[in-house]
Copies of this chain bind each other. A is one copy, B any other.
Amino acid sequence: MVIRLGLAQIDITVGDINGNVEKVLTYIDMAKKNDVDILVFPELTITGYPPEDLLLRLDFIRENLKALEKVAVATKGLETLVLLGFVDYDGEIYNSAAILKNGKIAGKYHKMHLPNYSVFDEKRYFAPGNKPVIIEHAGLKIGVNICEDLWVPTGPINDQCIAGANLIVNLSASPFCVNKWRSRLNMLLTRAMEYSAIIAYCNIIGGQDELVFDGRSMLVTPEGKHHIASAFEEELFVVDVDPFVSTRYNLYEGKRKGYSKVSELETVRLSISGKLGIKKTPPAKPDESRWEEEAFKALVLGLKDYVRKNGFKKVALGLSGGMDSSLVACIASEALGSDNVIGVLMPSEFTSKESVEDATLLAKNLAINKLTISIKEVYHSYLNALETVFKNTKTDVTEENIQARIRGNYLMALSNKFGWLILATGNKSEIATGYATLYGDMAGGIAVIKDVYKTEVYALAKYFNEVKGREIIPKRVFDKAPSAELKPDQRDQDTLPPYEILDSILKLYIEEGLSQTEIVEHGYGEEVVGFVLKLLQRNEYKRRQGAPGIKISRRAFGKDWRMPITNGYRR
């Protein structure tokens, strides 16, 4: 018996209940036209993910329940079974899946395993469910669960499979980081084989503040076959499966039964639908993209959705002729179209001729808009105004920061006057070490490459030029030594270790959680490690006030990094 599954990996907006419901209804209609038997939406489709403290508002929960009723009504007369994420409420709230059939809410499932690590705070809001659910539909037994439920080896899938589930459906909202999709695929294949189950997994796509969701919904079988939907694109992913053929490989039956006893499993019985689909989607190849490709796409989608969902159309950024702002301009052009990008050159007396040329050439190559506003006169007016107060002091980083903050003020003035969103261009190595000026080059609505180390910035820039088949980012930008150009003959490497070393140390500390001693044991000099970690720890106050950035690494500065500012720990 062949079943047609539709996985609706859609781009929804947190809080925009009406807009999300409109999109759900469109996809239900599309599913109907494509003879889909079972249509699956992602986790918390109605509210968007993550709704954060909106979940503390009872009026918001009620709106979401009304919206669910509206979708339920829209399934009247359809043969399609619809599984939809929403927030259920009975005094406590639950991260839930609704089972919609022929105009009715035929059943509900409450997520049992709530993630509360990394960027997740689900235990702040939700009570855990305590009953696995099985849907009887079209002669099938369908086990439904939500995201984290499936990452737990003996989650509800255990009871569902013991109760004879032929198909497991998982509603998910799994944020992107580089290579995460491989873990997901491996996890799904493990569960499928372990439980001898066919698993249909539906993930969100789209950007939500610092998170990007990459979609890549999947269908996996116990035999290790897998079908993967597009990455970073909305899609109704349709797959035809025959659960009874697949589940004959029941190798793990014995082991499975050993796990735990089925205690309070709930069964939702539905009438059997009529005609079933017959087409089959050919198995997709596993995604073989390079990390540069997926990181770049994630940044493009993250930026695009941040701009669009916050009601902006155009963005502006300072173009220095350096690599960071060049890469951000490329990402912005891809995300929004070059017409919607304004590159602002803000030269000072320390800006080299080459930098102006490189920035100009980049703007030309990308066909973005260009503005030039000198900071020279304004800078000197600051020096005049502060002359008395600064009498008998030496020139230091103060004067450099004044320049960066004049540029920040210019950009924000353009934002205020013309409604452009400002893009901050700092990279992760800079944000980590405080090698960026708070309220200066850190100013902006979103920090596009905040989670990209400097060495990775170069790699992404190289990748971009390769894809475009020409030197959009001028060769000289790759070749010259990085410099903030805030004083004569300044080079980043005058005050920071070489970026290869810096980035390696930072990754070991931030992403691997190693201590100073352990990093030294990895072969880095004690002095350089101590220096880097001191910079990292001292600049927490800056990060606290930085613009949100798009997470592409395992651990980004943001919801994923909750370090105290006041912190006496020095290792």
In the complex, chain B residues whose CB is within 8 Å of the CB of A518: 59
By beta carbon, the residue of chain B nearest A409 is B405
Most chain B CB neighbours (cut-off 10 Å) among A60, A310, A380, A569: A569
Does A410 lie at the interface of the complex (its beta carbon under 8 Å from any beta carbon of B)? yes
Residues of chain B lying within 8 A (CB to CB) of residue A245: none
Q: How far is the CB of A529 from the nearest CB of chain B, in Å?
A: 13
Nearest chain-B residue to A416 (Cβ)?
A: B398
Stretch with Cβ within 8 A of B (4 or more), from A8-16, A230-238, A252-260: A8-16
A366 part of interface (Cβ distance < 8 Å): no
Could you say which residues of chain B place their CB within 8 Å of the CB of A52? 562-564
Q: Which residues of B contact A409 (CB under 8 A)?
A: 382, 402, 405-406, 409, 439
CA distance A13 to B50 in the complex (A): 33
Report the nearest B residue to A19, measured CB to CB: B568
Let me know if A495 is at the binding interface, CB within 8 A. Answer: no
Contact yes or no, B517 A59, CB < 8 A: yes
A58 lies within 8 A of B513 (CB): yes
Tell which of B53, B309, B408 touches A405, judged by Cβ atoms closer than 8 Å. Answer: B408
CB-contact partner of A15 in B207, B412, B541, B569, under 8 A: B569
Tell me the bound Cα distance from A390 to B14 in angstroms. 35
Q: Which residues of B contact A305 (CB under 8 A)?
A: 566
A515–B59 touching, CB < 8 Å: yes
Least CB distance, A256 to chain B, in whole angstroms: 26
- In the assembled complex, the CB of A173 is this many whole angstroms from the nearest CB of chain B, namely 13
* Complex Cα spacing A17 to B570, Å: 10
Complex: A547 Cα to B546 Cα, angstroms: 10
A 365-400 contacts with B by CB, 8 A: 371, 373-375, 377-378, 380-382, 384-386, 389-390, 393, 396-398
Residues of B within 8 A of A306 (CB): 566
Cα-based distance from A515 to B412 in the complex (angstroms): 33
Q: Is residue A480 contacting chain B, with contact meaning CB distance below 8 A?
A: no
Residues of B within 8 A of A410 (CB): 382, 385-386
Q: Within the oligomer, what is the number of copies of this chain?
A: 2
- Among A371, A390, A416, max chain B CB count under 10 A is at A416
Q: How far is the CB of A410 from chain B (nearest CB, A)?
A: 7
> What chain B residues lie within 8 Å of A417 (beta carbons)?
390, 393, 396, 398
Considering the chains assembled together, what is the distance between the CA atoms of A378 and B413 in angstroms?
15
Which residues of A are in contact with B by a Cβ distance under 8 Å? 13-19, 48, 50-54, 56-60, 63, 116-117, 121, 123-124, 207-209, 305-306, 309-310, 371, 373-375, 377-378, 380-382, 384-386, 389-390, 393, 396-398, 401-402, 405-406, 408-410, 412-414, 416-417, 438-439, 443, 445, 513, 515-518, 541, 544-548, 561-571
Indicate whether A382 sits within 8 Å of B390 (C-beta atoms), given known contacts A208-B566, A563-B53, A566-B310: no
Nearest CB of B to A426, in Å = 13
Chain B residue contacts of A58, Cβ below 8 A: 513, 515
Q: Least Cβ distance of A177 to chain B in Å?
A: 17
**Among A309, A412, A439, A445: residue with most chain B CB under 10 A:** A439
Q: Contact between A382 and B378 (Cβ–Cβ < 8 Å)?
A: yes
Beyond A121-B562, A377-B384, A401-B412, 8 additional contacts (C-beta under 8 Å) are A14-B568, A15-B564, A16-B568, A52-B562, A63-B569, A377-B385, A382-B409, A398-B413
Bound Cα distance from A190 to B367, whole angstroms: 71
Q: Which residue of B lies closest to A57 (CB)?
A: B513
A384, A445, A563 pick with most chain B CB within 10 angstroms: A563
Residues of B within 8 A of A19 (CB): 568
A13 with B568: CB separation less than 8 A: yes
**Nearest CB on B from A54, distance (A):** 6
Nearest Cβ in chain B — how far from A452, in angstroms? 20
Interfacial chain B residues near A408, Cβ < 8 Å: 405, 439
Across-interface contacts of A371 in B (CB, < 8 A): 389
Can you report 23 residue pairs joining A to B where beta carbons are below 8 Å apart?
A13-B566, A15-B564, A15-B567, A15-B570, A17-B568, A59-B571, A63-B571, A116-B116, A121-B121, A208-B564, A209-B564, A373-B385, A374-B385, A377-B384, A378-B378, A378-B382, A380-B381, A385-B410, A386-B410, A390-B417, A396-B416, A396-B417, A445-B541
